[in-house]
């Protein structure tokens, strides 16, 4: 399976000296990124100095990646600049309009679970009721107040769609693995400043150790502020969020979103890890001139094994009503029975409209996407998966 477009190979080869030279000047490159973010956000970096400094550290770790391609290097530059722009804009808007922080983010629903456990299907169905709402891709890529002028909104939507299009053109399998559309809901991980999502694109041991020890309270407070900015001067609806990376910080999430309900999708990890490693390999192929596929499996087994253990630890001490379990087998084999029950537990009404929405979602090609993968390609076997997750895969989900 070819993971990158053929045109990337000569482009990356020809641009390798330029990438090497820029990596050697990482601090100066980052300074220009900060200046660009300040201009786009119309805000001073002093509004979020600790945040900007944390990205300087991350960028230095990125610059240490000797195999980075031009696409990978520029992709990181664009991503971090965009994230800094959004962060500074949110801070500026709140400084100018402190009442934004009084916006209630009431009873949010947060879909979590290992990747490839039908979190996307669950998320798509839960956002269908008129009173529910998820952040759209363009809102996460270009966060701005909810009542911006239509022309500016259209410009930001177009910008986000162009970014999605670049991913599709760079990788023939990207739309199969993670289709993106500027006007469709997207994972709120894009509004979280830090986390293991960056490691999908590059193995950065120092950054991972830093992420392991990080207090994510500030990250989740920022996520809440993003939702408040998007909601400000708009009809208040119930937010439905989704990301597998929330598993690592459920304690912080439940503290910041005090009345959140966690919808946890479950599937045997043995059926998940190969598919996830294949997705990571695509990310590595896009960002590097060369990479070691066999190193991906042990790395992510350790990350997700610890993540599930941490989430189960939080689950054991939290009120049971804060969690709703959704077994993959029930959801995919009997969605017409599983989803109405889920709606009832969330205090939502299952109507003819929701039933029709389910049929529409199930009919979409992207709900049945698949791609090739083998555990052995990623340096792991079935026994390794079982050892990493302990009894989690035998809990009957």
C-alpha–C-alpha distance, residues 45 and 30, integer Å:
12
C-alpha–C-alpha distance, residues 176 and 238, integer Å:
30
Radius of gyration of the chain (CA): 21
For the chain, which domains are there?
A: 8-96 (no CATH), 106-135+185-394 (3.40.50.300)
Residue pair 201/72 in contact by the 8 Å Cβ criterion: yes
C-alpha–C-alpha distance, residues 314 and 306, integer Å:
12
Long-range CB contacts for residues 214-217, cutoff 8 Å, separation at least 24: 215/252, 216/192, 216/248, 216/249, 216/252, 217/252, 217/255, 217/256
Residue 365, pLDDT score: 53
At residue 240, φ and ψ (nearest 5 deg) are -120, 115
pLDDT in tens, the chain (397 residues): 678 877 788 888 888 899 999 999 999 999 999 999 999 999 999 999 999 999 999 999 999 999 999 999 999 999 999 999 999 999 999 999 999 999 999 999 999 999 989 999 999 999 999 999 999 999 999 999 989 999 999 999 999 998 877 777 777 776 666 778 888 999 999 999 999 999 999 999 999 999 999 999 999 999 999 999 999 999 999 999 999 999 999 999 999 999 999 999 999 999 899 999 999 999 999 999 999 999 999 999 999 999 999 999 999 999 999 999 999 999 988 989 999 999 999 999 998 888 888 888 777 655 444 555 689 999 999 999 999 999 997 775 6
DSSP line for 366-393:
GGG------GGGGT--HHHHHHHHTTGG
The Cβ-side half-sphere exposure at 33, using a 13 Å CA radius, reads 25
Residue 175, pLDDT score: 65
Per-residue pLDDT reduced to its tens digit, 321-360: 999 999 999 998 898 999 999 999 999 999 888 888 888 8
Residue 394, pLDDT score: 74
Residue 2, pLDDT score: 76
Per-residue pLDDT reduced to its tens digit, 228-256: 999 999 999 999 999 999 999 999 999 99
Q: What is the DSSP code (8-state) at residue 103?
A: -
Per-residue pLDDT reduced to its tens digit, 274-317: 999 999 999 999 999 999 999 999 999 999 999 999 999 999 99
Coil, helix or strand at residue 194: coil
Q: With CA atoms as reference, report the closest residue to 199 among 186, 182, 212, 218.
A: 212
């Amino acid at each position: 399976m070819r993971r990158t477009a053929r045109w990337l190979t000569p482009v990356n080869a020809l641009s390798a000296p330029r990438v090497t030279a820029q990596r050697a000047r990482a601090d100066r490159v980052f300074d220009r990124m900060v200046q660009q973010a300040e201009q786009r956000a119309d805000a001073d970096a002093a509004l979020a100095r600790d945040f900007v400094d944390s990205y300087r550290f991350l960028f230095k770790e990125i610059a240490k990646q000797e195999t980075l391609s031009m696409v990978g290097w520029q992709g990181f530059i664009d991503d971090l600049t965009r994230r800094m722009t959004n962060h500074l804009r949110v801070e500026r808007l709140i400084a100018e309009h402190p009442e934004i922080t009084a916006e209630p983010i009431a009873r949010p629903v947060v879909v979590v679970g290992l990747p490839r456990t039908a979190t996307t299907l669950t998320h798509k169905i839960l956002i269908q009721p008129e009173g529910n709402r998820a952040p759209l891709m363009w809102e996460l890529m270009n966060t701005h107040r909810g009542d911006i002028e239509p022309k500016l909104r259209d410009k930001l939507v177009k910008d986000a769609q162009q970014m999605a299009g670049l991913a599709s053109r760079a990788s023939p399998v990207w739309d199969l693995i993670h289709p993106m559309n500027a006007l469709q809901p997207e994972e709120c991980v894009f509004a979280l400043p830090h986390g293991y999502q960056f490691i999908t694109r590059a193995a950065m041991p120092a950054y991972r150790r830093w992420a392991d020890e990080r207090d994510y309270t500030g990250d989740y407070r920022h996520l809440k502020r993003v939702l408040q900015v998007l909601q400000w001067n708009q009809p208040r609806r119930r937010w439905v969020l989704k990301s597998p990376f929330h598993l690592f910080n459920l304690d912080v999430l439940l503290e910041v979103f005090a009345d959140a309900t966690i919808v946890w999708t479950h599937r045997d990890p043995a059926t998940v890890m190969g598919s996830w490693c294949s997705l990571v390999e695509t990310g590595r192929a896009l960002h590097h001139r060369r990479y070691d596929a066999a190193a991906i499996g042990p790395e992510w087994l350790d990350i997700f094994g610890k993540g599930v253990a941490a989430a189960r630890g939080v689950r054991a001490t939290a009120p049971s009503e804060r969690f709703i379990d959704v077994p993959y087998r029930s959801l995919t084999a009997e969605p017409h029975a599983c989803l109405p029950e889920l709606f009832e537990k969330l205090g939502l009404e299952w109507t003819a409209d929701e039933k029709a929405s389910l049929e529409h979602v199930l009919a979409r090609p992207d709900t049945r996407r698949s791609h090739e993968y083998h555990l052995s390609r990623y340096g792991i076997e079935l026994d390794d998966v079982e050892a990493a997750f302990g009894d989690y895969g035998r809990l009957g989900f």
